[in-house]
Structure 1
Amino acid sequence: MNLNIKATKENTYDAIVVGSGISGGWAAKELCEKGLKTLVLERGRNVEHIKDYTTAMMDPWEFPHRLHHTNEMREKHPIQSRCYAFDEATQQFWVNDKENPYNEVKPFNWLRGYQVGGRSLMWGRQVYRWSDLDFEANAKDGHGVDWPIRYKDIAPWYEYVERFIGVSGQAEGLPQLPDGIFMPAMEMNCLEKHVAARIKEQYKDRIITIGRVAHVTEKHNGRGPCQYRNLCARGCPYTGYFSSNGVTLPAAAATGNLTLRPDSIVLEVLYDKDTAKATGVRVMDAHTKQTVEYYANIVFLNGSTLGTTWIMMNSVSDRFPNGFGNDSGQLGHNLMDHHFGVGAGGEFDGFEDQYTSAGRRPNGIYIPRFRNVNASTMQKDYVRGFGYQGGAGRGRGIGNEGIGVALKESQTIPGKWGMGIGSWGEHLPYFENKVTLNKEKKDVNGLPTLDIDCEFKENELAMRKDMQQSAIEMLEKAGLKNVHGYDGAPPPGHCIHEMGTARMGRDPKTSVLNGFNQVHAAKNVFITDGACMASSSCVNPSITYMALTARACDHAVSELKKGNI
């Protein structure tokens, strides 16, 4: 890998990839392996695999504050510290909110990681294929615009990605959740198995399965296997889970075609109106603030949903006065995130003679979507659907009485078994959910910030009632006691599945990208991160970004060879 920190005079490449996260890493791998000299631009610092996972092997007592948040951490990270994966061991992977502000027109938690690898270092790793239930939804119920692809178009690319990254899971034969290429599944514990059996007895329309997760459960291409430490957000020195740093960027580097330039903030896409193509990008060095231009035949924008859209909006010219490729007026609109933080939990009497013995499994159970799947499951109050993630375990300690030895001994006795399930619901694409550039409020680099105006609406709120009530009902039917529902109502963004804002579509008048993720008005520019999404489904989206990226890279190189771009 060529680490190009100081700009050289040789600024022309075959391809430029903006961003090094989940989709950017895939673009780098595919383009490099297809023989293109590829420049990857990352706005954040360099993070080297294993070497820079400085907290990965530390025990809780080795941290000054035992992993708790400090006032200083909350001051620097008032938004990021709301994330479950943020603590004293992972804070280095999350942005400083004071230096990277944004403006909440309505509440929105924008959770970000600016470094090589992006959020692929801290992601939740759940990977589920979409089905035609998802790709056909917009056309059938009239929300958003029709996807220009269907499951058959992306299915071979899901397989391609799964074989490379390693996905553990269980095939279930469900049309709404297509099976993939799976490594051996992680095992459910005794209570999860019990609840799964009871759900199968009680319902004909739903199941519990183990989560499908991007962890290798056996050795795979020199990686892993997963060590069941569940310290993934610190970076994995065993490469047990998929990250750009551990998997795709090394594959790109192995070709000799990769040049990686961290600390490089892309300001805009350069455009030649005579050829109707992008010529490259303009970049600001994060330290010196000096700007430099890089040139290439192909540009992939993978700066994350809102990062990519910021670049597009900041790229104005006579041809694109309202943002690059924004002939449709859709750029920045149709922002979505999954709505979650709603479900139920309860206690279970039994299995006192059993305890988990397989370490800390970095995964949970999954209940696939069962609403609005077919004629018999249609709902009157809302469209689309939701799924559940969750798990069971035993509490620690029978009490907190006493001091010294007595207290310690009480904490070594396992408590009761309990189980919780939380739901992830689909967010419809609304034009009025949008981001816009604010040129009055600047970040630490003197650049415009984003105004984010996004909310969940009536359809999502109606769905949440069912999400909670169904969770309560299932746990009660499974034999749990003291079942309680909850709805924390976190704002959009908090699920970290933000998507939309530069959607794919069939018609250039109503979309930004075509069916191969090309900007309608500049065919050599591709967007394959979350910005491209025309709807949100209810499952974690990252593997769909990966599959779309691999597919788009294949198309890009084919078109380049034909002289079409």
Structure 2
Amino acid sequence: MIETKVYDAIVVGTGISGGWATKELCENGLNVLVLERGPMVKHVQDYKTMNDDPWDYPFKGELSREDKEKYHKQLRVGWAPKDDVKHFFVNDLEHPYQETKRFDWIRGYQVGGRSLTWGRQSYRWSDIDFEANKNDGIAVDWPVRYKDIAPWYDKVETYIGVSGQALGLEQLPDGKFQPPMGLNCVEKDLQQSLDSKFEDGRLLTIGRVAHITENTTDIEGRGPCQYRNRCWRGCPFGGYFSSNSSTLPAAERTGNMTLRPNSIVHEITYDDNQKRATGVKIVDAETHEKLEFKSKIVFLCASSMASVGILLQSKSQRFPNGMGNEYDQLGRNIMDHHYQLGASAKVDGHLDKYYKGRRPNGFYIPRFVNLDEKTKRKDFLRGFGYQGSANRTNWSEMVAEMAYGKELKESILKPGGWEIGMGGFGEMLPYHDNRVTLSKDKKDQWGLPQLDFDVEFKENEYNMREAIKEEAAAMLKAAGFKNVNAFEADTGPGLGIHEMGGARMGHDPKTSVLNKHNQLHAVPNVYVTDGAFMTSSSCVNPSLTYMAFTARAANHAAEQFKQNKFS
């Protein structure tokens, strides 16, 4: 069935990018249809586990054997899903994909997407990142530089609320910050050690995180963080940024938004005569009904790999191999960040100190390698940073096996000793043969082709992983901590949950899919603003950059629309 109404714009996806695209387009006066493949999640009303305690669940929240099978790929991440948040992660039996090589695809299909469960770490890129491909002779050059994106970082940070500390670092530009959260005593010890014992400029700061930390009337409908650290269940206070608490309500207030959940977009329609996209085709997730919606602009924000899949399925006489895929660039150069490797240690002393609340944030050690000749490494290109925290261990650690009576009662009233750990997030290079394709024979329950991943780490990544472990252990040892242990889990690309690439930006249509405004080179009324547009990966969490590029692209689209460029 084809709906006759023609919307000004269709936004596919309601996560971090989709929410921003919707807000900006609606506030510019466009009539916007927003399509989400998952069910509705209303702010506060649908956060059904937001106030639960561990004892409200059997097995301390661990999944049942049956649920572990349902979430067998989502569980690769280690910390999710649990009983309190499994509804915000996909059922792998219902949403399968193929792995020619291992790829850990962690997903959330609901209104708000992964903006409900993201780690909220928010860092700007610098020109060191935007110029890296060109300077290293790797892949293709970015068609933008920091000065092009800086005003949009300003806009996004001011709106979402990012707490953090200004550092004056070239590799990690400062932003518009709310007051930083505090470091605890052990983290301050490590901070002082890095300052005094290393000469390569490494330092420790509190993480830059999308949490409101002060009472403000400038951010509508949201309040400051309550330090409950139950963020991924949905925050009823709106303390952290999500589409549900922020951008989607802002779009709704304009009266220009129509939101349709349970709508699986699988194709962008194309008119050969107009040389424009005309809308999208969907399958209703509940009824399996096939529908088509029309619009003058399409924004793909379905998540990196899902957006690539939609473009690959969007075939026509003009694009027999997928929309914008004239030169076999679509689905290639898939990247992620390194994850689940670093070092941990025990800490003597400070037994008279503790901390207040459950800080939903950790410390951050910015990149300190391959920044100049002094810090240049011969064994790999690019760099890495660390995220970590220190805490006092469980009360049970102090309960000796033979304790009883008075000794037992006194022991369980005291917390254990301190421990500290840090994990590295390192850059992955874009490789032409790291790709995702449509499966030739495997389909999902809606009859749509599954995605097939053929992505791997290569020599540069493996060399960097060794350095990440070595440097983490060296920093903890230098601080005088005990029982330092370097660790590395068995992982594949994807597990960092920063999957990106597949429809990269570039100057040349023959070597890239999108131009500097996130438009398809060949179809200018289609914009892609989730992680699919990334030309390289940097080593910092990418969500703030997605938001900045999305706000920029949406305002560009609105200007083009008002000039009748898409009529």
What TM-score bracket applies, with the shorter chain setting the length? over 0.9
Q: Identify which range, 345-354 or 519-528, moves more after superposition.
A: 345-354
1:291, distance to aligned residue in structure 2 (A): 1.2
1:348, distance to aligned residue in structure 2 (A): 1.5
1:22 is matched with 16
Q: Is this contact kept in 2: 1:386–1:425, CA < 8 A?
A: yes
SS in structure 2 at match of 1:388: strand
1:516 is matched with 517
1:402, distance to aligned residue in structure 2 (A): 4.8
Letter in 2 for 1:206: R
SS in structure 2 at match of 1:28: helix
SS in structure 1 at match of 2:389: strand
SS in structure 2 at match of 1:555: helix
1:354, distance to aligned residue in structure 2 (A): 0.5
1:209 is matched with 205
1:564, distance to aligned residue in structure 2 (A): 2.5
- Verify: 1:263 aligned to 2:257, yes or no: no
1:68, distance to aligned residue in structure 2 (A): 1.0
1-structure distance, mates of 2:525, 2:16: 21
1:324 is matched with 323
- Unmatched 5+ stretches in structure 2: none
2:239 is matched with 240
SS in structure 2 at match of 1:127: coil
2:228 is matched with 229
1:50 is matched with 44
1:172 is matched with 167
Letter in 1 for 2:47: Y
1:3 is matched with none
- Verify: 1:33 aligned to 2:27, yes or no: yes
1:409, distance to aligned residue in structure 2 (A): 4.6
* 1:476-515 superposed matches below 5 A: 476-515=477-516
SS in structure 1 at match of 2:417: strand
2-structure distance, mates of 1:323, 1:409: 68
- Verify: 1:122 aligned to 2:117, yes or no: yes
1:446, distance to aligned residue in structure 2 (A): 1.8
* 1:260-339 superposed matches below 5 A: 260-339=259-338
1:91 is matched with 86
- Verify: 1:532 aligned to 2:530, yes or no: no
1:347 is matched with 346
2-structure distance, mates of 1:331, 1:48: 34
2:107 is matched with 112
How many residue pairs were aligned? 558
2:56 is matched with 62
- Verify: 1:182 aligned to 2:181, yes or no: no
2-structure distance, mates of 1:560, 1:216: 34
Decide whether aligned partners of structure 1 residues 402 and 11 sit closer, same or farther in structure 2, where only a CA change above 3 A counts: farther
Q: Is this contact kept in 2: 1:267–1:314, CA < 8 A?
A: yes
Decide whether aligned partners of structure 1 residues 440 and 403 sit closer, same or farther in structure 2, where only a CA change above 3 A counts: farther
Q: Is this contact kept in 2: 1:85–1:122, CA < 8 A?
A: no
2-structure distance, mates of 1:395, 1:336: 35
2-structure distance, mates of 1:291, 1:426: 41
For 1:185-240, what per-residue CA distance to the aligned partner results, in whole angstroms no more than 9, with x for missing partners?
Answer: 00000110111011111123110000000000113423121011111111111101
Q: Identify which range, 236-245 or 481-490, moves more after superposition.
A: 481-490
For 1:481-534, what per-residue CA distance to the aligned partner results, in whole angstroms no more than 9, with x for missing partners?
Answer: 111111114111111000000000000000000000000000000000000000
SS in structure 2 at match of 1:11: strand
* 1:416-455 superposed matches below 5 A: 416-455=417-456
For 1:110-131, what per-residue CA distance to the aligned partner results, in whole angstroms no more than 9, with x for missing partners?
Answer: 1100100000000000000000
- Verify: 1:136 aligned to 2:131, yes or no: yes
2-structure distance, mates of 1:559, 1:388: 41
For 1:357-395, what per-residue CA distance to the aligned partner results, in whole angstroms no more than 9, with x for missing partners?
Answer: 2x1100000000000011211110000000000011111
1:407, distance to aligned residue in structure 2 (A): 4.9
2-structure distance, mates of 1:262, 1:210: 37
1:554, distance to aligned residue in structure 2 (A): 1.0
SS in structure 1 at match of 2:416: strand
1-structure distance, mates of 2:538, 2:253: 35
2-structure distance, mates of 1:50, 1:82: 28
Could you state the TM-score of these two structures normalised by the residue count of structure 2?
A: 0.96
SS in structure 1 at match of 2:21: helix
1:14, distance to aligned residue in structure 2 (A): 0.6
Q: Is this contact kept in 1: 2:386–2:422, CA < 8 A?
A: yes
Q: Is this contact kept in 2: 1:396–1:412, CA < 8 A?
A: no
Q: Identify which range, 401-410 or 34-43, moves more after superposition.
A: 401-410
1-structure distance, mates of 2:469, 2:553: 39
1:391 is matched with 389
SS in structure 2 at match of 1:421: strand
Q: Is this contact kept in 2: 1:396–1:414, CA < 8 A?
A: yes
2-structure distance, mates of 1:283, 1:473: 53
SS in structure 2 at match of 1:148: coil
Letter in 1 for 2:294: Y
2-structure distance, mates of 1:29, 1:265: 21
Q: Identify which range, 297-306 or 338-347, moves more after superposition.
A: 338-347
1:403, distance to aligned residue in structure 2 (A): 7.6
Letter in 2 for 1:65: F
1:367 is matched with 365
How much is the aligned-residue C-alpha RMSD, in angstroms? 1.3
Could you state the TM-score of these two structures normalised by the residue count of structure 1?
A: 0.97
Q: Is this contact kept in 2: 1:90–1:233, CA < 8 A?
A: yes
Q: Is this contact kept in 2: 1:224–1:240, CA < 8 A?
A: yes
Q: Is this contact kept in 2: 1:266–1:284, CA < 8 A?
A: yes
For 1:262-297, what per-residue CA distance to the aligned partner results, in whole angstroms no more than 9, with x for missing partners?
Answer: 000112001011111101111111111111111111
Letter in 2 for 1:125: R
Decide whether aligned partners of structure 1 residues 409 and 515 sit closer, same or farther in structure 2, where only a CA change above 3 A counts: same
2-structure distance, mates of 1:495, 1:29: 28
Letter in 2 for 1:491: G
